Amino acid sequence: MIVKLRSMKTTVCREAHFNSAHRLHNSEWSDDRNQAVFGKCNNPTYHGHNYDLIVKVTGDVDPETGYVMDMKILKDLIEEHVIEAFDHKNLNLDTEEFKSLNPTAENIARVIYEKLRPGIGEDLGLRIVLYETRRNFVEYGE
Amino acid sequence: MIVKLRSMKTTVCREAHFNSAHRLHNSEWSDDRNQAVFGKCNNPTYHGHNYDLIVKVTGDVDPETGYVMDMKILKDLIEEHVIEAFDHKNLNLDTEEFKSLNPTAENIARVIYEKLRPGIGEDLGLRIVLYETRRNFVEYGE
Amino acid sequence: MIVKLRSMKTTVCREAHFNSAHRLHNSEWSDDRNQAVFGKCNNPTYHGHNYDLIVKVTGDVDPETGYVMDMKILKDLIEEHVIEAFDHKNLNLDTEEFKSLNPTAENIARVIYEKLRPGIGEDLGLRIVLYETRRNFVEYGE
Amino acid sequence: MIVKLRSMKTTVCREAHFNSAHRLHNSEWSDDRNQAVFGKCNNPTYHGHNYDLIVKVTGDVDPETGYVMDMKILKDLIEEHVIEAFDHKNLNLDTEEFKSLNPTAENIARVIYEKLRPGIGEDLGLRIVLYETRRNFVEYGE
Amino acid sequence: MIVKLRSMKTTVCREAHFNSAHRLHNSEWSDDRNQAVFGKCNNPTYHGHNYDLIVKVTGDVDPETGYVMDMKILKDLIEEHVIEAFDHKNLNLDTEEFKSLNPTAENIARVIYEKLRPGIGEDLGLRIVLYETRRNFVEYGE
Amino acid sequence: MIVKLRSMKTTVCREAHFNSAHRLHNSEWSDDRNQAVFGKCNNPTYHGHNYDLIVKVTGDVDPETGYVMDMKILKDLIEEHVIEAFDHKNLNLDTEEFKSLNPTAENIARVIYEKLRPGIGEDLGLRIVLYETRRNFVEYGE
């Protein structure tokens, strides 16, 4: 029999987008090592992506509203904490989070999780899916 | 080490579609409260969506057929229990399920789960993914 | 040799979305004829769609801006004339345009063209692409 | 409270594609039974698909690189073990794996898992998503 | 000013799908030349694709129905002349059309045009878009 | 009757991708005017996009090959003239073309047309479709 770990929970998901410049770089490494590990993603003048973000919130459905969480509130949280912070920005230069943290998709997903987590109820699960391109994406969270 | 909870199981997934009218409304609330909570989704003359449905069935692969479940049978189950019931219908007015239940994506996903569950073997897991729009979707099930 | 009818022109395209209820119905016909011609799309309690709209504007590129037209202005025109008019509405009941005009995709595309045309410069071409579902869409305009 | 089984892990995902011919067939069955069970998928002269493959690897993020795993290495593993083996091939005739194993999506996903597993670190989880068509897909792995 | 060649016409579009095996091969050439020109697409045991087909019909909108053409009739025409002929078939072996004609996307699109043209009114334009993969597609027709 | 301007021609289309940083900026304008016209796209530290490019070539089908043009040759042309030039680059800083030309989608599409045109036969038409985001795209060419 299938163990119904999640059977009474519902997950609601909201997609958003931001367009940013970045480069992959570890400032504690030599230029040669950065180039060897990160290749063209290390280009010193940056490149960029259309990031597609899916935020997933898991919990019980409120019997009065039929909602796990009001999607307008979730949309506003994403707008305030992610889109305003990262959209049409250079992640390495314009954000506090990636001044010293390498903006790989893995790290961006974790940072988004940490920025959104305080605004999501403690009884709710949070999971981030972040597409860097159509072919490369990451997942992070509960 | 990764705990291999699902490692010997395979999940097969089938996509389907239905186009319906609906409105979000709690009949025990005042009109003002409905409008405050559900906003434009409360429009008394309804609006509508192209719902994209993914049904996921998890189990063991039959060594003779190479199937978890014959997808034609799953397709027919979805056709009979979901598409015939909801496609080109007004969810609030034309269906028994949503006469008194608010047709949020969360509730529609759970109702679809409950309509399909009896037709899926007890040794199989069932999970529903329902897209209300490209940007808003929900998941429900084991 | 290919005739370069459009060769010096550039087309800029903007996508938008609206979710509406509608039914196909010709009020001058009997119920039987409406049912025979429009089938399940004639459902008297309505059904609905997520409409995906692409607006295409064709013209010369301004050498100073590099724009055919500022996409923010096009976005605002679509928002004002299409999204506010049709989104989360019942096309048959809530709009002047479809009080007596059958809201087929063909007619909706033409109405959108006529609503947007006055706001687009006379030296610019305008073309509408409207997806009623992923599988059914229409095109209208120059 | 949500049990945070996966909370400290990150999943990186890579999409790839291959185009193959196949037929569904159990060589131990009569032609009639094959036809009854597999229908048009049993066509003796084969049919084919554009398979869309997503490979998901789950683990900890290396603090020096910001990577769970270098996606270039994952891309090369997929290229060597899956694309070279299956792309522009007849799965039933041209591959060792499906000489006697029925090439259902379920079995192809498991075979891909087994071909990739040795190249993925033991501390990493591996999960395969395989789309046979836009409407039919399977998942397999941890 | 934009020349409004098509301005009073509306185009309706319908998407369909078929999954087929094929190989590219010119029977009047040597094996070496076939291999040199067609490469892996010449594999003698075939490969296959999920073909995505869009059929576009251009004409005037009937003021009574609001239709250029009833999409159910177009859907049935595509089903009868294209899907039944090509779906789950080997294009080279199972069809008359490609017994001696190389089944490139260009040729398949023209054959589909010629199969559908007699069923489409003479006052209507017909155009075919055929995706062999997400990255390779062709267009043919008026 | 539909005028069959293009009826004997076939169009073949190839999709490619590149990821670049850019900013919109007219160096002959003041900072204030740049900010007023280009808004957040003028961010001095750049932002970026996943550009999706479709190259369309129109001509006659060679009766021997069944090709308008060998797609491998077209793919290589795009790789050499577009992807190597723009992928993982800063368009404003790293390319000759956009040193003084504003890298709007309109201008990028025209530059791509001009880079590819010499490699495409004179008897073939060439048209460029460039997606800057899923919602904004441009078309240029014959």
Instruction: Please compute Rg for chain F using Cα positions.
Output: 17
Kind plus residue range of the DSSP H or E element containing C55: strand C47-59
Q: What DSSP designation does B46 have?
A: -
Distances, alpha carbon E18 to alpha carbons B112, D24, D47, D48, E104, in Å: 29, 17, 10, 9, 15
The two three-digit tokens of residue B111, written as one number: 């109702």
Judged against a pLDDT cut of 70, whether residue C7 lies above it is answered with no
pLDDT mean over C42-67: 97
Whole-number average pLDDT of chain B: 95
pLDDT mean over A25-50: 97
Among the listed residues F3, F4, F8, F14, the one whose alpha carbon sits nearest the alpha carbon of residue F126: F14
Identify all chain F residues contacting A98, using CB atoms and an 8 Å cutoff: none
At residue C3, the pLDDT reads 42
Judged against a pLDDT cut of 50, whether residue A133 lies above it is answered with yes
Domains of chain F: 10-141 (3.30.479.10)
pLDDT mean over C101-106: 98
At residue F4, the pLDDT reads 47
Burial status of residue E36 (CB atoms within 10 A of its CB: 0-12, 13-18, 19 or more): exposed
Residue A76 CB coordination number (10 Å) = 12
Identify all chain E residues contacting D47, using CB atoms and an 8 Å cutoff: 19-21, 48, 87-90
HEC assignment per residue over F45-83: CCEEEEEEEEEEEEECCCCCCCCCCCHHHHHHHHHHHHH
At residue E6, the pLDDT reads 42
DSSP 3-state of E121 = coil
pLDDT mean over A97-113: 97
Q: Do the chains B and A touch each other, judged by at least 3 C-beta pairs below 8 angstroms?
A: yes
Cβ of E142 within 8 Å of Cβ of F61? The answer is no
Bridge partners of residue C53, in order along the sequence: C16, C130
**What is the C-alpha separation between A40 and F102, in angstroms, rounded?**
24
Judged against a pLDDT cut of 80, whether residue D54 lies above it is answered with yes
Q: What DSSP designation does B62 have?
A: P
At residue D8, the pLDDT reads 77
Identify all chain E residues contacting C101, using CB atoms and an 8 Å cutoff: 66
Residue A130 and residue A109 in contact, taking contact as beta carbons nearer than 8 Å: yes
D42-46: long-range pairs with CB below 8 Å, 24+: D43/E88, D43/E89, D43/E90, D43/E94, D45/E21, D45/E89, D45/E90, D45/E93, D45/E94, D46/D21, D46/D22, D46/D90, D46/D92, D46/E21, D46/E46, D46/E48, D46/E90
pLDDT digits (tens, 9 = 90+) for D120-141: 999 999 999 999 999 999 999 9
ipTM of the complex: 0.93
Identify all chain C residues contacting B46, using CB atoms and an 8 Å cutoff: 21, 46, 48, 90
Distances, alpha carbon A4 to alpha carbons B123, B137, B141, F85, in Å: 12, 21, 8, 52
At residue F2, the pLDDT reads 42
Cβ of D104 within 8 Å of Cβ of B65? The answer is yes
Among the listed residues A92, A117, A116, A89, the one whose alpha carbon sits nearest the alpha carbon of residue A104: A92
Judged against a pLDDT cut of 60, whether residue E86 lies above it is answered with yes
Judged against a pLDDT cut of 70, whether residue B45 lies above it is answered with yes
At residue A8, the pLDDT reads 76
D109 φ, ψ to 5°? -60, -45
pLDDT band at E25 (very low <50, low <70, confident <90, very high): very high
Among A9-13, A127-131, C6-10, C39-43, the minimum mean pLDDT is found in C6-10
Interface mutation target, options B23, B42, B135, chain A, most CBs of A under 10 Å: B135
**What is the C-alpha separation between D90 and E21, in angstroms, rounded?**
9
pLDDT mean over D39-46: 98
pLDDT band at D76 (very low <50, low <70, confident <90, very high): very high
**What is the C-alpha separation between B127 and B113, in angstroms, rounded?**
7
Judged against a pLDDT cut of 70, whether residue A1 lies above it is answered with no
At residue E4, the pLDDT reads 47
**What is the C-alpha separation between B126 and B22, in angstroms, rounded?**
25
The two three-digit tokens of residue A77, written as one number: 């949280």
Burial status of residue C29 (CB atoms within 10 A of its CB: 0-12, 13-18, 19 or more): middle
At residue C108, the pLDDT reads 98
**What is the C-alpha separation between D54 and D69, in angstroms, rounded?**
15
pLDDT mean over A33-47: 98
Kindly list the catalytic residues of E: 41, 88, 132
Q: Do the chains A and F touch each other, judged by at least 3 C-beta pairs below 8 angstroms?
A: yes
Residue with tokens 């940056």: A46
Judged against a pLDDT cut of 50, whether residue C88 lies above it is answered with yes
Among the listed residues A86, A97, A92, A82, the one whose alpha carbon sits nearest the alpha carbon of residue A24: A92
- Cβ-based interface (< 8 Å): residues of B facing D: 1-7, 9-16, 56, 61, 64-68, 70-72
At residue E8, the pLDDT reads 76
pLDDT mean over C14-19: 98
pLDDT band at A5 (very low <50, low <70, confident <90, very high): very low
Q: What percent of chain C stands above pLDDT 90?
A: 94
pLDDT digits (tens, 9 = 90+) for B78-131: 999 999 999 999 999 999 999 999 999 999 999 999 999 999 999 999 999 999
Go through B70-85 and write b for each residue having 16 or more CB atoms within 10 A of its CB, e for each that does not.
ebeebbebbeebbeeb
The two three-digit tokens of residue A11, written as one number: 């997950």
Interface mutation target, options F4, F11, F53, chain E, most CBs of E under 10 Å: F11
**What is the C-alpha separation between F75 and B26, in angstroms, rounded?**
56
The two three-digit tokens of residue E33, written as one number: 């030349």
- The most distant pair of C-alpha atoms in chain F lies apart, rounded to whole Å, by 60
Kind plus residue range of the DSSP H or E element containing D106: helix D105-116
Cβ of D61 within 8 Å of Cβ of A106? The answer is yes
**What is the C-alpha separation between D55 and D112, in angstroms, rounded?**
9
**What is the C-alpha separation between C111 and C102, in angstroms, rounded?**
11
At residue B18, the pLDDT reads 98
Question: pTM for the full model?
Answer: 0.95
Shortest alpha-carbon distance between residue C97 and chain F (Å)? 26
DSSP 3-state of A83 = helix
B88 is catalytic: yes
At residue E33, the pLDDT reads 98
At residue B8, the pLDDT reads 76
Judged against a pLDDT cut of 70, whether residue F115 lies above it is answered with yes
CA D17 to chain centre: 10
